Amino acid sequence: MILDVRTPGEYAAERIVGAVLLDYRSPSFRRELANLARDATYLVYCRSGNRSAGAVEVMAQRGFTRIYELAGGILAWKRAGLPVEG
């Protein structure tokens, strides 16, 4: 699963194809994590890497075992010429 941890506005403007929004700054972020399978594989990204680093740390603390952070966020994704939608 691809997790976009940016704001709803950022997500609406553009996102990696197939990404699911889970706003890291939302008060419900930790509660919403409880609905995700801890043994699934996750690619986590934000704009440039700051929020995704925090999200990955929280996920690891909560028992998620296969978490990957997209280095450089969606900015790096686009620089590499990879597709976005929105």
Active site residues: 46
Contact (CB, 8 A) for 55 and 15 = no
